[in-house]
Copies of this chain bind each other. A is one copy, B any other.
Amino acid sequence: MAPPSHCYISNGAPQNGVVVPMETGTLPPQDSHLLDPDEFRRQGHQVIDFIADYYARMGEYPVHPSVNPGFLRRELPADAPSRPERDAFDAALRDVRDLILPGLTHWQSPRHFAHFPASSSTVGALGEALTAGINIVPFTWAASPAATELEMVVVDWLGKALHLPERLMFCGGGGGTLLGTTCEAILCALVAARDRKLADIGSRRIGDLVVYCSDQTHFAFRKAAHIAGIHRDNCREIATCRDDVFALSPAELHAATQADVDAGLVPLFLCATVGTTQTTAVDPIRELSAVAAAHGAWVHVDAAYAGSALVCPEFRHVIDGVEAVDSFSMNAHKWLLANTDCCALWVRKPSLLVAALGTEQEYILKDAAAEGHDVVDYKDWSVTLTRRFRALKLWLVLRCYGVEGLRAHVRSHLRIAASFESMVRADARFEVTVATQFALVCFRLRSPEKLGGEKTANELNRRLLEEVNSTGSGPYMSSAMVGGIYMLRCAVGSTLTEERHVREAWKVVQDQAASLLRKMEINYSVVAE
């Protein structure tokens, strides 16, 4: 790692022995220079080349840096510079290259299999750049009419591309919006549901409201419920089991809701998941919705990851019964090439969102939505008032790649994941712990029973993951602990990942496993007869 070039003027004590006298600093730029088209052009082309070079060299970076906490804080001065150094932008870009990039986890690496992807594309990244350049804040229709209308159009485009029911879209009386994250989406839906229910039962009974999910539901839901004032004791995390492939059981939901009703509590909200984080389990929407409906509970579907797969009609069955739900969200930034952040939320009754989250007019500008026109003021659909113009990026992605392009993209990852899965299945030492439904493969070294059963197997696989992730030039994976089983997660999803990357990754896993088994003197031909 090259030494940082932060030899600029600091307000405070010089760091790392670098002392530069105050007067050598460049004068601050004049205000007229701050958004000068020529300066923007010059520095902008530098940035584009910088990013292109980064993509070209992506394979060379270890996916995850080998650094210790504090490694970067120690390198940087304690204060911002008072005046910029000469050629500050060039120097800063050099520092990004030499100081920051080597300390990042490279989510775009073709060997990044640890998390669900932060899906990148040329058009997605440049859509963000364009949005940042235009820099508007479309919090009401009036605050930027075209931005609001483009958002209304593009959420319908996306909903149709994902085969969602029209009743969730503007064209069918519902409507959608683009937020930052699933946690925001769930929070918005939950507050709308809460207010509707409290209007029925009395606003002082917030402590009686109960929400439901499975033990596989992402923490985002419990976080949203907690923020919304749902009592911590009133969040039912219903246990799942391996026999049900870790899907939420309608019978268990029925039992839980009935028990709560019997105890004088009020079922409020079910968060069903299509594609859980740990194993991509799919909760059965139709049956769960029927249970929830009996209590007037709101049903939200969190398809943060797997929602993107719905662009392929062959996946329509995973949301069977979705016509009955109240709201649905997915992250186009996860697997649909839309770069961070872009979470789409659709609701059947937008008026409930507005009732819960709407604002009075603070300072008055002509407001089309308030006047009953057929447009919306999106500030009333979300936690935040200031909003980014995310629709432009998503519109560019849909337009430039087309629905078929997105389908081809998703299917290529499905093929690569299937290929990895078949490699795992072909090695008798390993097992696929949960059949692959999307592009996440969950696997582990089999439990060497004669050596102590599950506990030993878990420890063995924990060590295997450590070894795999520490190779530097190899893949970066993660783990899950589900039903008492520790498993490795290989999530295919980086745009740059090709078939060869999972072949190479599998080779690393096999080699590390062999070495580990040798060290531990485990011989599968003996123990796994």
Contacts and interface: CB of A to CB of B under 8 A. Distances in A.
A18 interface: no
Given A228-B227, A405-B29, A363 B399 contact: no
A526 interface: no
Nearest to A411: B31
A70 interface: yes
A-B pairs, top 3 by smallest CB distance, nearest first, are: A229-B229, A103-B146, A28-B405
Interface string A110-150: 00001100101111111011111111110001111111011
A153 interface: yes
Given A107-B137, A339-B132, A41 B52 contact: yes
Contact of A363 (B39, B183, B278, B407): B278
A340 interface: yes
Contacts of A451: none
Given A40-B122, A150-B100, A157-B80, A51 B134 contact: yes
Interface residues of A, number: 173
A1 to B, nearest CB: 11
Contacts of A8: 399, 402
A365 B374 CA distance: 47
A206 B232 CA distance: 12
A43 B204 contact: no
Interface string A483-506: 000000100000110100000000
A403 B11 contact: yes
A343 to B, nearest CB: 8
A37 interface: yes
Interface stretch (A88-96, A244-252, A286-294): A88-96
Interface in A165-181: 171, 180-181
B404 A82 contact: yes
Interface in A189-205: 191, 194, 203-204
A206 B207 contact: yes
A507 to B, nearest CB: 21
Interface stretch (A257-265, A384-392, A418-426, A509-517): A384-392
A56 interface: yes
Among the interface residues A44, A65, A357, A498, which one has the most CB atoms of the partner chain B within 10 A? Answer: A44
A409 interface: yes
Interface stretch (A216-224, A266-274, A344-352): A216-224
A96 B150 CA distance: 11
A451 B8 CA distance: 62
A55 B80 contact: no
Interface string A23-63: 00100111110111111110111011111111110000000
21 contacts: A9-B402, A28-B406, A31-B412, A35-B495, A41-B52, A50-B133, A65-B146, A67-B146, A69-B373, A72-B149, A80-B402, A105-B142, A105-B144, A128-B128, A128-B129, A132-B340, A180-B384, A184-B384, A206-B231, A219-B362, A223-B385
